[in-house]
Amino acid sequence: MKISILGGGGFLGRRLAIRLAADGQLGGHAISGLTLFDIVPPPAPDAAFPVHCLGGDIAELPAAAIPPGTDVVFHLAAVVSAAAEADYDLGRRVNMRGTDAVIDACRALAKPPRLVFTSSVASFSGGQGALLPDDARQVPANSYGAQKAAAELFLIDATRRGFMDAVCLRLPTIIVRPGRPNKAASSFFSGIVREPLLGLETDLPVPDDFAVWVASPRSALGWLMQAAVMDTTSLGLDRSLNPPGISVTVGAIIAALDQVRQGASALIQRRPDPAIAAIVGGWPAGFTATRARALGFAPNEDLVTLVRSFVADDLDATREDRGI
Ligand X SMILES: NC(=O)c1ccc[n+]([C@@H]2O[C@H](COP(=O)([O-])OP(=O)(O)OC[C@H]3O[C@@H](n4cnc5c(N)ncnc54)[C@H](O)[C@@H]3O)[C@@H](O)[C@H]2O)c1
Enumerate the active-site residues: 144
Q: Which amino acid is at 249?
A: T
- Please state the closest distance from residue 118 (CB atom) to ligand X, in A: 3
Give, in order, the Cα–Cα distances in Å from 106 to each of 66, 209, 211, 231.
8, 44, 38, 19
The span of 78-86, 99-107, 249-257, 293-301 binding ligand X (CB under 6 A) equals: 78-86
* Number of residue whose CB is nearest ligand X: 10
257 binds ligand X (CB under 6 A): no
Helix (H) or strand (E) segment spanning residue 217: helix 217-229
- Please state the closest distance from residue 121 (CB atom) to ligand X, in A: 6
**130-144 burial string, b = 16+ CB within 10 Å, else e?**
bebebebebebbbbb
Q: Which amino acid is at 243?
A: P
- Please state the closest distance from residue 28 (CB atom) to ligand X, in A: 25
- Nearest alpha-carbon partner for 173 in 214, 227, 202: 214
**Contact with ligand X (CB under 6 A) among 1, 3, 4, 7:** 7
17 binds ligand X (CB under 6 A): no
- Please state the closest distance from residue 108 (CB atom) to ligand X, in A: 18
**Residues in contact with ligand X, total (CB under 6 A)?**
24
Alpha-carbon gap, residue 267 to 191, rounded angstroms = 11
- Please state the closest distance from residue 16 (CB atom) to ligand X, in A: 9
The span of 23-31, 77-85, 150-158, 283-291 binding ligand X (CB under 6 A) equals: 77-85
Sequence-distant (≥ 6) Cβ neighbours of residue 297 within 8 angstroms: 223, 226, 241, 243, 244, 289
**Contact with ligand X (CB under 6 A) among 4, 99, 123, 173:** 173
Sequence-distant (≥ 6) Cβ neighbours of residue 122 within 8 angstroms: 81, 140, 142, 144, 145, 148, 283
Could you tell me if 289 and 244 are in contact, meaning their C-beta atoms sit under 8 angstroms apart? Answer: yes
- For residues 102 to 131, the per-residue mask of contacts with ligand X, x marking binding by CB under 6 A and - elsewhere, is ----------------x-x-----------
Could you tell me if 192 and 266 are in contact, meaning their C-beta atoms sit under 8 angstroms apart? Answer: no
Site for ligand X in 28-47 (CB under 6 A): 38-39
Q: Which C-beta is closer to ligand X: that of 1 or that of 17?
A: 17
**Contact with ligand X (CB under 6 A) among 1, 10, 146, 224:** 10
**Contact with ligand X (CB under 6 A) among 31, 58, 82, 164:** 58
- Please state the closest distance from residue 286 (CB atom) to ligand X, in A: 15
Alpha-carbon gap, residue 128 to 248, rounded angstroms = 11
**Contact with ligand X (CB under 6 A) among 80, 176, 225, 303:** 80
**Contact with ligand X (CB under 6 A) among 94, 132, 241, 292:** 94
73 binds ligand X (CB under 6 A): no
- For residues 193 to 232, the per-residue mask of contacts with ligand X, x marking binding by CB under 6 A and - elsewhere, is ----------------------------------------
**22-43 burial string, b = 16+ CB within 10 Å, else e?**
eeeebeeeebebbbbbbeeebe
Strand-pairing partners, residue 137, are none
Tell how many helices (H) and how many strands (E) occur in the chain: 12, 16
User: Which residues would be at the binding site for ligand X (CB under 6 A)?
Assistant: 7, 9-13, 38-39, 57-59, 76-80, 94, 98, 118, 120, 171, 173-174, 186
